[in-house]
Amino acid sequence: MSRNIGVISDTHGLLRPAAVAALQGSGLILHAGDVGDLRILAELGRIAPVHAVYGNTDWGEVRGSLPRTRLVDLGARDGRVAESAVREGAGSCADRSAHALNPVPTPAGPLAYVHHGDRELDLDPPAAGIALVVSGHTHRPLVEERGGVLYLNPGSAGPGRSGLPATIARVMLTDDGGLRAEIVPLGGGGRGSGSRG
């Protein structure tokens, strides 16, 4: 059965009604940081389970509540990585990163690595079994496949910046286990898409 995953980033304290509308029907939502206000995650949680990381502008309660990186099983109902899929000593569920993966057992679906993107990746996605790398930070939408891994930046859904459009992204998990992604403008702007699988 195919599944929609909503991807949002750089809300900076603003959750646009157009973003909420565009994320309806998502089975999971990934937020790639610069959340700005935990109430945004609560609102998104009314749509679907949310997996979020903090960004470089998140401080105080937001930073204290979220991990820097997150590993998400896109095939699991709530996106959580099974306890047995993570090696001992990897930290709390919120802090587990992709380099802590144990290749057995197999996750329910493709794995996504979510980070804000303001630092270099601290892992090799193909070697870690990562199918999707989600980042934010630049406010520039990107869908690109490199080395069998889909790299996605949903752009910024928050306040406008430098003439860039407000956008989110959708990822479709297909019946054959592949991934397709598209950028969704929120009230104008261009549209891009890409796929993996």
Residue 177 scores a pLDDT above 90: no
The domain total for the chain is: 1
Mapping DSSP to helix (H, G, I), strand (E, B) and coil, where does residue 109 land? coil
Tokens 């999971």 locate to: 28
**Mean of pLDDT values over 176-193:** 75
**Mean of pLDDT values over 43-54:** 97
Q: How far is CA 159 from CA 7, 48, 50, 77, 154, in A?
A: 17, 23, 21, 31, 14
Span 126-167, pLDDT tens digits: 999 999 999 999 999 999 999 999 999 999 999 987 788 999
Q: What is the pTM of this model?
A: 0.84
Span 81-107, pLDDT tens digits: 864 443 332 333 444 444 444 444 578
Residue 188 pLDDT: 47
Parent domain of 77: 3-196
Q: How confident is the model at residue 19 (pLDDT cuts 50, 70, 90)?
A: very high
**Mean of pLDDT values over 34-43:** 98
Question: What share of residues in the chain are helix, strand, coil (percent, to 5)?
Answer: 15, 30, 55
State the chain's mean pLDDT as an integer: 85
Of the candidates 193, 72, 45, the one whose C-alpha atom is nearest the C-alpha of residue 133 is: 72
Q: How far apart are the first and last CA of the chain?
A: 15
Tokens 């403008």 locate to: 185
The C-alpha atoms of residue 144 and residue 13 are separated, in whole angstroms, by 27
Minimum mean pLDDT range among 42-56, 81-95, 107-121: 81-95
Mapping DSSP to helix (H, G, I), strand (E, B) and coil, where does residue 143 land? strand
**Torsion sign, CA atoms 96, 63, 65, 16:** negative
Residue 108 pLDDT: 83
Task: Characterize the bridge pairing of strands 50-52 and 69-73.
Answer: unpaired
- 152: CATH: 3.60.21.10
Let me know: does 111 contact 103? Beta carbons within 8 Å: no
